[in-house]
């Protein structure tokens, strides 16, 4: 499957090492857990989440009275899935009510690409979609968004570089209402180096949306780049202070050995990873599914 292929590098970092670990050990002991811990930390699961997973594994092995090393892997797979589900997993879905999707994240993480992919996905479900080019700071961002709009057949509401993002979003909301669009996807600026400005800008845009279209359902998706590993977790913590994030889009899972970061995000932030990017193409976006993820990861 595409997910399995996409996670190939992470798999090499986790599964192959875990397999090797379980062939080397004759019995379940502390050294085995310590080595497992190391493997997980190397795959960017993060210290805190790794400890939690190991504790859950030990508990599960005790409950199931498992003594054979050969059986540990399947239990661990279940534990990975359980951790993701426990922290509140929900899929990405747009209902029948008009919906506004705010897409936030740092420049370069794959925001533009993800917006294009999401627009395509929703169009395929028969929704009428509009995109708002709310990152007015970068001319390239507006252009790239227009390219994606053309590619997937969705209109992009935009103004010139440097214009007020709140004004663009205001326009786009009026347009969405006038056209009865099912979904409006809003791009936003992502200059995290000026945290206060970024937060102010985001809250201004949120206020416009709430004021102009209170009846619309709101979804706030944070885009994170899986290749940045623990940095992605840090970004999520910063954005979490600025906005009520309803889901995460984790991009570039295909090119990285750091797929374990999914577990860190889920466990440390309790924000569901809803969509994953597994390539640069328009179809390379998938619903995140804890069971499939655990299967793809652990083989």
Binding residue positions for GTP: 105-112, 187-191, 251-254
CB of 69 to ligand GDP, least distance (A): 36
Report if residue 247 touches ligand GDP, rule: CB under 6 A.
no
Contacting residue, 112, 136, 266, 286, with ligand GDP by CB under 6 A: 112
Site for ligand GDP in 189-228 (CB under 6 A): none
What is the DSSP track for the chain?
Answer: -HHHHHTHHHHHHHHHHHHHHHHH-SS--HHHHHHHHHHHHHTT--HHHHHHHHHHHHHHHHHTT---GGGHHHHHHHHHHHHHHHTT-------SS-EEEEEE--TTSSHHHHHHHHHHHHHHTT--EEEE----S-HHHHHHHHHHHHHHT-EEE---TTS-HHHHHHHHHHHHHHTT-SEEEEE----TTSHHHHHHHHHHHHHHHHHH-TTSEEEEEEEEEGGGTHHHHHHHHHHHHHS---EEEEE-GGG-S-TTHHHHHHHHH---EEEEE-SSSTT-EEE--HHHHHHHHH-
Mark residues 63-102: x for contact with ligand GDP by CB under 6 A, - for none: ----------------------------------------
**Cα 140 off chain centre by:** 23
Q: Residues comprising the binding site?
A: 105-112, 187-191, 251-254
Q: Which of 10, 113, 246, 266 binds ligand GDP (CB under 6 A)?
A: 113
Between 144 and 228, name the residue whose CB sits nearer to ligand GDP. Answer: 144
Task: Please give the Cα distance from 271 to 237 (Å, whole number).
Answer: 10
Q: Which stretch binds ligand GDP (CB under 6 A): 67-75, 109-117, 203-211, 261-269?
A: 109-117
> According to the binding rule CB under 6 A, does residue 254 interact with ligand GDP?
yes
List the interface residues with ligand GDP, window 280-299 (CB under 6 A).
Answer: 280, 284
Closest CA to 245 of 222, 276, 268: 222
Q: Which CB atom, from 115 or from 233, has the smaller least distance to ligand GDP?
A: 115
| 52 forms part of the interface with ligand GDP (CB under 6 A) | no
Determine the size of the site formed for ligand GDP (CB under 6 A): 17
Strands 183-187 and 285-287: unpaired
Closest CB to ligand GDP among residues 158, 252: 252
Helix axes 72-86, 261-269, angle to 10 degrees: 40
Closer CB to ligand GDP, residue 108 or residue 153?
108
Applying CB under 6 A, which part among 17-25, 158-166, 214-222, 278-286 lies near ligand GDP?
278-286
Q: How far is the CB of 211 from ligand GDP (least distance, A)?
A: 27
Q: The tokens of 150 are what?
A: 């053309």
- The window from 81-89, 105-113, 210-218, 234-242 that contacts ligand GDP (CB under 6 A) reads 105-113
Query: CB of 114: closest distance to ligand GDP in angstroms?
Result: 6
Instruction: Among 17, 89, 158, 252, indicate the residue that binds ligand GDP (CB under 6 A).
Output: 252
Contact residues toward ligand GDP (CB under 6 A) are: 107-113, 144, 251-252, 254-255, 277-280, 284
């Amino acid at each position: 499957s595409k997910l399995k292929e996409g996670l190939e590098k992470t798999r090499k970092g986790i599964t192959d090492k875990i397999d090797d670990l379980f062939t080397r050990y004759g019995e379940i002991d502390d050294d085995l857990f310590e080595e497992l811990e190391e493997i997980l930390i190397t795959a960017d699961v993060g210290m805190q989440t790794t400890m939690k997973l190991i504790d859950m594994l030990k508990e599960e092995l005790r409950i199931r009275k498992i003594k054979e090393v050969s059986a540990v892997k399947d239990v661990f797979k279940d534990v990975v899935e359980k951790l993701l589900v426990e922290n509140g997993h929900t899929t990405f879905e747009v209902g029948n009510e008009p919906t506004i999707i705010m897409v936030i994240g740092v420049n370069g993480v794959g925001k533009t690409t993800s917006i294009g992919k999401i627009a395509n996905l929703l169009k395929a479900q028969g929704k009428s979609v509009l995109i708002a080019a709310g990152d007015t700071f970068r001319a390239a961002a507006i252009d790239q968004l227009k390219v994606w709009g053309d590619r997937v057949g969705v209109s992009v509401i935009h103004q010139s570089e440097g214009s007020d993002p709140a004004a663009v979003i205001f326009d786009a909301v009026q347009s969405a209402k006038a056209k009865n669009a099912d979904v409006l996807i809003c791009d936003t600026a992502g200059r995290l180096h000026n945290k206060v400005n970024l937060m102010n800008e985001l809250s201004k845009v949120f206020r416009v949306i709430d004021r102009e279209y209170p009846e619309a359902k709101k979804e706030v998706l944070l885009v994170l780049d899986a290749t940045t590993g623990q940095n992605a977790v840090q970004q999520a913590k910063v954005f979490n202070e600025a906005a009520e994030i309803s889901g995460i889009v984790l991009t570039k899972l295909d090119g990285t050995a750091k797929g374990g970061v999914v577990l860190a995000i889920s466990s440390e932030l309790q924000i569901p990873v809803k969509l994953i990017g597994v390539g640069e193409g328009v179809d390379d976006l998938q619903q995140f599914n804890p069971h499939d993820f655990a299967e793809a990861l652990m083989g």
